[in-house]
């Protein structure tokens, strides 16, 4: 597992930062239900789980499908295997702890799940919308995250270089998209970070075109939008290719886009 700059476990370092933020906001405990936030704080990659962070020992409740995975992946939390409803288990734990206030991810937790927590944890426990507390931490990437994003970018760029020789008239958009995703997995990616876009001709003007069965034609622009996901972190790369000898109009369009890009980079 990658380490942070000071050599400690990055997940535990993030938990310390979260506790500090909770103290500043005067929120004793935070219930985290968004899977990507649980992954960010613990390393657990399951699609279901409920975690609690704050003054008490961090805990992660999972159902039996994820028991082994959670014990293998999760860092800095006590993993609890729960055969009943995860929210019932969390609510009963809160009923015993009797915290004055409990924050929750109001952008993710459903109304039904919140009602269940409120009803089963008792009247003394008050729940408070916490907004995007974890997202505030995620906005600033640590060394391990930057390294993984860079790896995902390199992997994506390598696949793009490989696929260029396959971009030729007669090849279907969907076949190119499938080949791109196959090659990303061959290089170690977990898959595509999003649905790979291959759009040619008039379809290249669609902002989020889906790869179709249309064959690529001569003297067409082809948009390739691809990105690998690696250890939970995504890359995104878009390139435009012209099949054939570009006309003056196409060269002028290319020059205008290049000039705009260089201007944007210089302005940063």
Q: Is residue 188 part of a domain?
A: yes
Q: What is the pLDDT of residues 185-210, one digit of tens each?
A: 999 999 999 999 999 999 999 988 99
Same domain, 130 and 147: no
Q: What is the pLDDT of residues 114-168, one digit of tens each?
A: 999 999 999 899 999 999 999 999 999 999 999 999 999 999 999 999 999 999 9
Same domain, 78 and 115: yes
> pLDDT at position 207, please?
86
Same domain, 117 and 237: no
> pLDDT at position 7, please?
44
Count: domains in the chain: 2
pTM of the model: 0.85
Average pLDDT estimate for 4-20: 80
Same domain, 72 and 170: no
> pLDDT at position 8, please?
66
Same domain, 31 and 89: yes
Q: Is residue 84 part of a domain?
A: yes
Q: What is the pLDDT of residues 26-37, one digit of tens each?
A: 999 999 999 999
Same domain, 76 and 101: yes
The domain that holds 191 is classified in CATH as 3.90.230.10
Asked if residues 34 and 108 have their Cβ atoms less than 8 Å apart, the reply is: yes
Q: What is the pLDDT of residues 87-115, one digit of tens each?
A: 999 999 999 999 989 999 999 999 999 99
- Domain of 241 in residue numbering reads as 143-246
Same domain, 116 and 207: no
């Amino acid at each position: 597992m990658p380490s942070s700059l000071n050599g400690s476990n990055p997940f535990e370092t993030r938990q310390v930062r979260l506790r500090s933020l909770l103290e500043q906001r005067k929120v004793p405990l935070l219930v985290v239900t968004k899977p990507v936030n649980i992954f960010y704080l613990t390393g657990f990659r399951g699609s279901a789980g409920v975690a609690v962070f704050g003054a008490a020992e961090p805990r992660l409740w999972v159902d039996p499908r994820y028991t082994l995975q959670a014990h293998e992946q999760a860092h800095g939390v006590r993993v609890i295997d729960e055969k009943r409803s995860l929210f019932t288990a969390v609510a009963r734990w809160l009923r015993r702890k009797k915290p004055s206030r409990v924050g929750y991810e109001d952008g993710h937790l459903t109304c039904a799940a919140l009602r269940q927590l409120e009803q089963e944890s008792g009247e003394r426990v008050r729940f408070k919308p916490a907004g995007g507390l974890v997202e505030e931490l995620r906005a600033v990437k640590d060394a391990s995250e930057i390294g993984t994003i860079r790896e995902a970018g390199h992997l994506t760029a390598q696949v793009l270089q490989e696929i260029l020789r396959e971009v030729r008239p007669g090849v279907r958009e969907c076949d190119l998209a499938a080949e791109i995703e196959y090659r990303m997995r061959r290089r170690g990616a977990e898959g595509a970070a999003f649905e790979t876009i291959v759009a040619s001709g008039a379809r290249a003007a669609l902002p989020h075109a889906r790869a179709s069965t249309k064959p690529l034609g001569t003297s067409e622009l082809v948009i390739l939008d691809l990105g690998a996901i690696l250890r939970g972190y995504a890359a995104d790369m878009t390139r435009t290719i012209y099949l054939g000898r570009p006309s003056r109009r196409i060269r002028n369009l290319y020059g205008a886009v290049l000039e705009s890009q260089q201007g944007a980079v210089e302005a940063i």
